[in-house]
Amino acid sequence: MAQFEGSKLRLARHYWGKTLGQVAEDIERSRQYVSQLETGKASSVSRDVLESLAHSLNVTPDFFCSPAGPALTEDQAHFRSLASTKVSTKLKVLARGTIFDQLARFIDERVALPDVNFPDYSGASTPEEIERAAEKSRLYWGLGLGPIDNMVKVVEHAGALVTFFRDASQEVDALSIPSIRPIIVRNDAKESPFRQRFDIAHEMAHLILHEGIETGDRKTETEANRLASAFLLPRSTFAKVFKTRGRSLDWHCIVDIKMAFGVSKAAILYRAKVLGLIDERQYKSGVIFLKNTRQSKKEDEDDLVEKERADLLSKSFEVLSNHHGLGFNDVASALGVQPSLLRVVISDVVEEDLIRNDHKIRRPNLKLV
């Protein structure tokens, strides 16, 4: 029998957020035995145990016997979470990021994805350097200084794959993986499409500013927020359109900017404060108003705009189907997992008709853009 890879068991267990005891109960063995399997102390694994583990964790028996690739760790990804986030939640999200990275590599070997083309401003750290990095990034991609129509398309055109993890904890905002094929994972639990755009810009900022730098502390998170804010609301343009009514905020103007630039009112207030267009008292007054009107998490206009969809992953599956004869089930099988497991890391990004019953779409002239 092929060598049992204990790290693959750990990966699949963390993927579902299961404890050693829960897996042990599933396969009718002891917790100690499952622990020994993970650490490589168990001398042999029967076929019955392999099949029971596979059934418990929605993978194939061969999954546990295939070479173990590198598992994603917190210091290898730009991982944004709250300080109170449980370790088990972090491990779950990182495990899902690892599986998605394997999917991305599988796709990259078979589909002509856009070249990875993120500018590198990893030396920028001061507020002024970050402002310039945001302006240069827009210039690098030919975006001008006006509103960004679609943030997901910006990062996809730069070569990143974007997905949304189903049932991810609200404690985890977003995740980006600076792998061979950059990956941006957005938690879709937030209702606001405007906050989603900012999260995409935040993860883009990590890829631009923090190549080879461990992130997650206050300094790097502040830098990413600054670049995201400056990228979405360029200072020269923003200074021209942002107005106040004397010492009072002009909420009609703020709403107009929000709808034109796709940025939340809270982010607009913060940007105005950073650029010195309002003072601390005006900023606090605006924050209190949003809180008192129950707009701290979801603002009044949020339902007027749909969340941006990721296209590159869906188009990749179409190419795999049309030009390689690989349906969704085939891709899952190649990764050694069940389709139900793979669904979790592509969420609603891939159209259902590409998934259901291993459906093959026949569009021979389709090209990936």
Q: What ranges do the domains of the chain cover? A: 6-69, 70-369
Mean pLDDT of 273-289: 96
CA-CA distance, 181 to 73, in Å (whole number)? 17
Please count the other Cβ atoms lying within 10 Å of the Cβ belonging to residue 319.
19
Please count the other Cβ atoms lying within 10 Å of the Cβ belonging to residue 338.
18
Q: Is the predicted pLDDT of residue 100 greater than 60, yes or no?
A: yes
Q: Is the predicted pLDDT of residue 357 greater than 50, yes or no?
A: no
- Indicate left, alpha or beta for 71 from its phi (over 0: left) and psi (-120 to 50: alpha): beta
What is residue 297's predicted lDDT score, i.e. its pLDDT? Answer: 87
Fold of 6-69: 434 Repressor (Amino-terminal Domain) (1.10.260)
What Å distances lie between residue 323 and 257, 313, 318, CA to CA? 44, 15, 8
Q: Is the predicted pLDDT of residue 365 greater than 50, yes or no?
A: no
pLDDT band at 170 (very low <50, low <70, confident <90, very high): low
What is residue 252's predicted lDDT score, i.e. its pLDDT? Answer: 97
CB 299 within 8 A of CB 257: no
Mean pLDDT of 143-168: 91
Take residue 63 and report the two structure tokens written for it: 């999954």
Q: Is the predicted pLDDT of residue 240 greater than 90, yes or no?
A: yes
Mean pLDDT of the chain: 88
What is residue 362's predicted lDDT score, i.e. its pLDDT? Answer: 40
pTM for this prediction: 0.88
Task: Find all residues with CB under 8 Å of 32, minimum gap 6, and list them.
Answer: none
Mean pLDDT of 47-65: 94
The phi, psi pair for 367, rounded to 5°, reads: -125, 145
